[in-house]
Amino acid sequence: MRAILKTGSIVSVVLLLMLVCSCKKTTSADNQKKILAPDPLNNAVSKLTQVITHDIFSPTVASRIYMYSSVAAYEALVPLNSEYQSLAGQLKGFTAGPKPEAAQIYCFPLASVHAFMKVARTLTFSVEMYDEFENKLYEDYKDMGISDDVFDRSIAFGDSVAAHVIRYSSKDNYKQTRGFRHTITNQPGTWVPTPPGYMDGVEPQWFKIRTLTLDSASQFKPVPPPAYNTDKNSAFFKEAQDVYDVTTHMTEEQKWIANFWDCNPFKLNVAGHVNFATKKMSPGGHWMSISNIISRQYKADIMKTAETYALVSIALFDGFISCWDEKYRSVRVRPETAINQLIDKDWTPFLQTPPFPEYTSGHSVISTASATVLTHLYGDNISYVDSTEVQYGIPPRSFKSFRQACEEAAISRLYGGIHYRSAIEVGLVQGGQVGEWVLGHIQTHKVIATKSEPTKQSN
């Protein structure tokens, strides 16, 4: 009979003592606790979200930045705890990275957060926004009693892990997908740019990005949406009418839900002859923030915190590829266009329509993928308060489970007037498939086998 090590288990006493001895010059119990605290990594994720929001990365590109940064943090921390294993050989094309030198002393929490920041700096633009944060971060570690040689060695290890991950990122076809525009056909029922900016379709080539766990971008190809039809008795017309009816009779609660999950990185505001943009975090950023909230609320140790960010960001990344593959296959018209043509030429959606095809709902896909991972890591019926949107003047909302949150995120797009119901419902299924696939194909924990049984691995 084999013993399966629990996800997120506390670092063993032996490992803890080894880490403390490796990192400290003093015997302060407070310093020992700080060295193992996940706060620096949680704060680093929050800082990355600020920069991604400032730089106005699209939701798809933001998921790529979160993922590579989080994978680097996880890989640099794995040597801390023998219960965990590398993602090498598990993510598509990801090979084994650098290893710490035997008999040398490291502070792996420092190496982890440094690797995270190194990748974040490489993949974002406004790197000066990190300066003050990082300077304070490293000063804090030194104040914990880490000797200069251990500090330098840990930074160097973090650098080497980051470089390995950055090399991996350079082969994901990202550069090859830059500069392409979606061709508008103007065929009835197909997507066209929408007001007020009439922007080009975002990331029409994203399905060509290398997946991490999925066999291909189309592995979970959804059922086709109802065909475009102007007949009032058709399934398509009824869906358009449904959006119109819901949005013209919204309750204050529904408006709150729509605003809470809006997550529009670039909302164009038009006031007379003046145009200005309002920035918000991306949908993926919202779920990384939920991961942050849960990590703090349940006092997850640093290893489980790094595991959480890695798995959630991987689910986000593969989820966006799966969703975008369908978006530019079906190229389905947005409700705003259809309703203006078929029902009410003066109707406007409650939220601003995003600049890409409608089917399936990205919020539905990535929210369910993320919720599936978080449920696996922390359990079902986990109550928490999501204060992510307070910074944008939107009150927090309470949830009793991750599933409740992802279903609310999905239906919020109907309230916003930017998705038909089928895109939401099918997107929930698609996201669940992605999330379960990720969990079935990435094993962060090792399994200790008895002599009579070969070694196996398990989440």
Q: Note down pLDDT in tens along the chain; length 459 residues.
A: 222 223 333 444 334 444 544 454 444 778 878 999 999 999 999 999 999 999 999 999 999 999 999 999 999 999 999 999 999 999 999 999 999 999 999 999 999 999 999 999 999 999 999 999 999 999 999 999 999 999 999 999 999 999 999 999 999 999 999 999 999 999 999 999 999 999 999 999 999 999 999 999 999 999 999 999 999 999 999 999 999 999 999 999 999 999 999 999 988 887 776 777 789 999 999 999 999 999 999 999 999 999 999 999 999 999 999 999 999 999 999 999 999 999 999 999 999 999 999 999 999 999 999 999 999 999 999 999 999 999 999 999 999 999 999 999 999 999 999 999 999 999 999 999 999 999 999 999 987 654 444 433 333
Any idea which residue has 């003047």 for tokens? 393
For 184, list phi and psi in degrees, rounded to 5: -80, 125
Tell me how far CA of residue 112 lies from CA of 44, 72, 95, 325, 354, in angstroms: 11, 7, 18, 33, 35
What secondary structure letter does DSSP report for 446? B
Q: Is 197 exposed, middle or buried (0-12, 13-18, 19+ CB in 10 A)?
A: middle
What secondary structure letter does DSSP report for 97? -
What secondary structure letter does DSSP report for 84? B
Closest CA to 326 of 354, 355, 361: 361
Secondary structure of residue 267 in the 3-state scheme: strand
pTM of the model: 0.93
Compute the distance between CA of residue 353 and CA of residue 195 in angstroms, rounded to an integer.
8
Gap between the terminal Cα atoms of the chain: 17
Secondary structure of residue 385 in the 3-state scheme: strand
